[in-house]
Amino acid sequence: MLLMDKEPGFVPMRERGEPKGGAGEPAGKALAIADAAETDRISPETVGDITSKNAVIKVRGGNVHYGDTHALRNISLDVGRNEVVALIGPSGCGKSTFIRCLNRMNDTIESARVTGDFRLDGTDIYARDTDVVLLRARVGMVFQKPNPFPKSIYENVAYGPRIHGLASNRAELDDIVYGSLERAGLVNEVKDRLDEPGTGLSGGQQQRLCIARTIAVNPEVILMDEPCSALDPIATARIEDLIDELAQKYAIAIVTHSMQQAARVSNRTAYFHLGRLVEVGPTDKIFTNPSHKLTEDYVTGRFG
Amino acid sequence: MAMLTPAETRRRVDASLRRRYRSEWLFRLYGLVSVLMGVGFLLVLFATIIGNGYGAFRQVFIQLEVQFDPAVLDPEGTRQQDTLASADYSQLVKTSLRTLFPDAEDRTSRRELNALVSSGGAFKLQKMLLADPTLLGQTRNVWLPADDEVNVFVKGRAPAVSAGSGDEGRRLSDRQIAWIQTLESSGKLEQRFNTIFFTAGDSREPELAGIWGATKGSFFMLFVTLFLAFPLGVAAAIYLEEFAPRNWLVDVIEVNINNLAAVPSIVFGLLGLAVFINFFGMPRSAPLVGGLVLTLMTLPVIIIASRAAIKSVPPSVREAALGVGASPMQMVFHHVLPLALPGMMTGAIIGMARALGESAPLLMIGMVAFVVEPPGGPMSPSTALPVQIYLWADSPERAFVERTSAAIMVLLAFLLVMNAAAVWLRSRFERRW
């Protein structure tokens, strides 16, 4: 059980006729089989300070249902500017579901129902008049498996600015592409072969290309869904360095299964368990002196 | 459960291995046998068709010294175009045949002599004279097509190949055979490449019948089909795959599309007859109506192939597009469609190939008519290649046998070209990154 989040990380666009509980419902199955007694151990209240100075994302009482299963229960959490928030927890605990709520990627799952107050800079993400396209331009996302478009490296980065009309001419577009590749730490490796397919790069390079593609749109928040889980340690280290640099400018929420990674890159850490947010706090505190028993068990490797 | 000893485990695995290898070997043998049988049947089919049909690409011609006699063609000397056009040119053929073989004196033998040359010979002379009126009064050596029975005999396909045998099935008399042999030995009879077969429409005379009319009809039909079925099919597939809500109505539509692909094609013919001809009053035998009927028939095939192609686009590409803020429309047209297009085109071409070979629905909308003139457009009456094959296969004249096979060869060649195009398009547009 509890393996849905480890599946190579996509949620299909729609449940293409598959039976319920397929990859489209990451947390559902795990919750359904969860031991009721264990659920009772989790206090409904989150331990620690959920707020953040300079909060860009403010979530209060967020709930997600996939059909009949309650995947996220009453989550409240802030993500602030220049801050990296790591979301950790056992598979199927709802961390991916949570960040997918922030750019409404869950919209593509038909059975998903999101309730609660999700705000980006004070505006309601789920309001009727919120434009999803604009929202996703402001809240970029990097996925678990590197997924460059089957186009050239240049086109991969230029696509976002082009559809959003961010560049008025070719020179500006070139600037955006070079700048994004530079900030993603990729420009030296690819500047002589921008016309080559993005899928021809190594896995780590592809993931940095995806990051360049995300920051080319100049978002305010970057969501990362286990960005290093398909990469080797060297590529992982490069991405982690990159996250450090990006944190100077963006608000970042990163889902990770590696507690070392959470400890290395994040300022705050949120521990999810069975659809609830158990504890939030400064990363040091979570890893050295957690307040909740479940958090302690998890970070000390007693389960999970 | 008692643990097995390592030796016992090994023994049991050994025994099961032998069983597995045996069944594997048997399965491979079955596969090989079925492939060989399939190839064998295909070879027999090709051998039969080519063996029957290759003769149709050669045509027997007879050389005659024809005098364009003004007394026959223009007895009043008016030199009017329509007088010349309606004159009795067969008389010229008869006269020159008689000067060649003066021994044919009685009526029967003269009729037999005249039967050597096709009735198309007179048309050829008429065309020559109308193109160049100065020929009037002159004498020319002209190669005229021989009659179909002469063709059959010269190509050695008649039951009685030698003079004197009393076979019941013979169509040529001893006298005719003697004349043919005289012509052959004097070099006045030869086989040439059969251009008539590729340039003429249908005819009651096998030696004058060609596939050009049917080919044009098929072409117009496929044109109509392609330009209706491909855009409609692709649009329907995109809508159903990407935009349609999940509800019972869409489910019903999907089930029906899948069922339509399995409906016998003649039912589409009946539908076309009832709707396009009886209700909308479109002309019978027109390639336009044929194309519409084939569109209905091909549409489900294209929709199903296109949906499969769209489904095979990896979801990660869609997520990537949505993640940078592409609208669903942009996601489909910038990312999904380019990746799905090769599959869609393959499906479309296979659907078109099926439409090209279809005859049953065309019978229902009157495209089985005897049409001599090749159609000028999608509204003029026409047949199609498979229907032409059916018509010829039904004809009693022996010379139509080889034409039927030859038309099948042409149809197969078209199908081969279309399938090659599908393969080429696929490799051309498939992105390998």
Going along chain B from its start, the domains and CATH numbers come out as 55-193 (no CATH), 212-429 (1.10.3720.10)
A6 within domain boundaries? no
Report the gap between the CA of A267 and the closest CA in chain B (Å): 25
Cβ count near B298 (within 10 Å): 30
Specify the pairing of strand A84-88 against strand A268-273. Answer: parallel
| pLDDT mean by block of 10 residues, chain A; 304 residues | 39 38 41 46 71 88 89 90 91 89 87 90 89 91 91 93 90 92 88 89 91 91 90 87 89 91 92 90 90 87 69
Q: How far is CA B116 from CA A179, B25, B87, B97, B139, in A?
A: 87, 63, 21, 9, 21
**B72-80 long-range contacts, Cβ below 8 Å, gap at least 24?**
B73/B129, B73/B136, B74/B136, B79/B133, B79/B136
Containing A116, the helix (H) or strand (E) segment is strand A112-120
User: If residue B58 lies in a helix (H) or strand (E), which one and from where to where?
Assistant: strand B58-67
State how far residue B315 is from chain A, nearest Cα, in angstroms: 6
Q: Which residues does chain A have within 8 Å of residue B321's beta carbon, measured at their own beta carbons?
A: 149, 159
- Subunit contact A150:B339, Cβ cutoff 8 A: yes
Amino acid B287: pLDDT:
93
B126's CB contacts (< 8 A; 6+ apart) are B84, B85, B87, B89
Q: How many CB atoms lie within 10 A of CB B48?
A: 12
pLDDT of residue B126: 87
Q: Is A251 strand, coil or helix?
A: strand
pLDDT at A26: 44
Q: Cβ of B325 under 8 Å from any chain A Cβ?
A: yes
B293/chain A closest Cα distance in angstroms: 32
Query: Does B308 reach chain A within 8 Å, measured CB to CB?
Result: no
**pLDDT of amino acid A9:** 38
The CA distance from B200 to B13, in Å, is 72
ipTM: 0.79
Distances in Å between the Cα of B367 and the Cα atoms of A260, B111, B267 are 76, 36, 15
**pTM for this one?**
0.80
Quickly list DSSP for B367-424. TTS---SPPSSTTS----HHHHHHHHHT---THHHHHHHHHHHHHHHHHHHHHHHHHH
Q: Which pLDDT score is estimated for B158? A: 62
Q: Can you tell me which residue has the tokens 């063996």?
A: B51
CATH number of the domain bearing residue A234: 3.40.50.300
Q: A3 lies in a domain?
A: no
- Find the chain A residues whose C-beta atoms sit closer than 8 A to any C-beta of B: 10-14, 16, 103, 105, 108, 110, 133-137, 140-143, 145, 147-150, 159-160, 163-164, 197-200, 210, 213-214, 216-217
Q: Which residues of B touch A105 (CB under 8 A)?
A: 319, 322-323
Pick out chain B residues at pLDDT < 50.
161, 163, 433
Please give the angle made by the CA atoms of B30, B33 and B35, to the nearest 5 degrees. 110
Q: What is the pLDDT of residues B375-421, one digit of tens each?
A: 888 888 999 999 999 999 988 888 898 899 999 999 999 999 988 98
User: Do A180 and A212 touch, CB atoms closer than 8 A?
Assistant: yes
A118 part of a folded domain: yes
B316 with A143: Cβ contact below 8 A: yes
Q: Tokens standing for B372?
A: 């001599």
Orientation of helix B107-114 relative to helix B174-185, angle to 10°? 50
- Tally A–B CB contacts below 8 A: 78
Cα end-to-end span (Å), chain A: 11
Range of the domain at A274: 27-299
Task: Judge whether B50 and B79 are in contact, CB under 8 Å.
Answer: no
Helix (H) or strand (E) holding A260: helix A259-265
Q: Do B325 and A137 count as a contact with CB atoms less than 8 A apart?
A: yes
Please state, in angstroms and rounded to a whole number, the distance separating the CA atoms of residues B241 and B235: 10
pLDDT tens, position by position, A157-216: 999 999 998 888 999 999 999 999 988 888 888 989 899 988 889 888 999 999 999 999
Predicted pLDDT of residue A43: 55
Nearest C-alpha of chain B: how many angstroms from A205? 15
| Own/partner long-range contacts of A11-19 (Cβ < 8 Å, ≥24 apart) | A11/A100, A11/A105, A11/A106, A11/A108, A11/A109, A11/B315, A11/B319, A12/A109, A12/B315, A13/A108, A13/B242, A13/B315, A13/B318, A13/B319, A14/A108, A14/A109, A14/A110, A14/B246, A15/A109, A15/A110, A15/A111, A16/B311
Contact between residue B308 and residue A117 where contact means Cβ atoms under 8 Å apart: no
> A2 in a domain, yes or no?
no
Question: Is A12–B433 a contact, with Cβ atoms under 8 angstroms apart?
Answer: no
Residues forming a β-bridge with A65: A70, A113
On chain A, the residues whose CB falls within 8 A of the CB of B318 are 13, 108
Output the pLDDT for position B167: 56
Buried b or exposed e, range A272-283, using 16+ CB within 10 angstroms: bbbbbbbbbbeb
Domain count, chain A: 1
Contact: A143, B320; criterion CB under 8 Å: yes
pLDDT at A23: 40
Contact A133 B433 (CB under 8 A): no
pLDDT value at residue B374: 87
Count of CB atoms within 10 A of residue B287's CB? 29
